[in-house]
Amino acid sequence: MSLTILANDGLATSGIDALTAGGHTVITTKVAQSQLIDYINQHKVDAILVRSATTVRQDMIDACPSLKMVGRGGVGMDNIDVDYAKSKGLKVFNTPAASSDSVAELVFAHLFGMVRHLHDANRNMPLDGDSQFGQLKKTYAKGSELSGKTIGIIGFGRIGKAVARRAYGVGMRVIVHDPHLLDGDFEVAFADGQILKTSASMLSMNEVLRAADVVTLHIGGNSELIDAKALATMKEGAFLINAARGGVVNEPALIDALKSQHIKAAGLDVFVDEPKPSVQILMNPHVSLTPHIGAATVEAQARIGLELAEQIMAKS
């Protein structure tokens, strides 16, 4: 059966080529959210593929009888009314494994930058590097090494394990908290084909917060997990990274913790008020910033495209 597929938030060439070769029609026109229902009905769209920008809610599902499938290129599906869609007979799917490595590498991009103050140096060197080189050198000469430090991973699913593998390679001690798991087992695959089986210490949430030099968050949903109390529980001078969901961290409490330097620095890829993050967060010199690009690598998008295409063809 040939399907008309709207990839409203874009789709990698790998996915388009696979779907086209399978006899399906792929539309990559970006349709505004307010115009989506009319567009879907006008073009009799069978499947809509989204990432983070587009939402698929109950009103769209009710108003678009041609829809048979909803696919999310990524891990979470907070922007889709999943249960309602399924109750109406739609097939709903995502790509949970495709972007794990790209998110994990972004975590360490933030972390390597923060421990050597690169996030701040890259702001100030273009401004004052030619006139205050010596002072800047003195300011940024007190960085830290990651080897021997403890990383606490909150949420030990695919992304959490991908972070653990990289931490292990850097020489960090890995501790984890995940209420849905009983052990912290994971594997480290090396470029020469060797595979090492090892395990992280599975601890309570408070134990992880108290012991970790770095806390990184990899949980689903938007429920606030890191509030003022949790930040106060963290080790003084620790680093916090959030590449999960904006609502997981209380941003005003984080700003206070950064101001007092109880939290040394934070790496944020997600924000409470996307796509207009708080100015207080954006201007804070102790925050390393990226605009929700955890899954946005060429390699991850190619994997996502292929995985979406494979799921559509398997379900059609």
**Catalytic annotation, pick one of 245, 251, 303, 307:** 245
123 is catalytic: no
**Catalytic annotation, pick one of 145, 236, 274, 299:** 274
57 is catalytic: no
**Catalytic annotation, pick one of 51, 110, 292, 303:** 292
Q: What are residue 108's phi and psi, to 5 degrees?
A: -75, -25
166 is catalytic: no
CA proximity to 167, closest of 107, 241, 238? 107
The catalytic site residues sit at 245, 274, 292
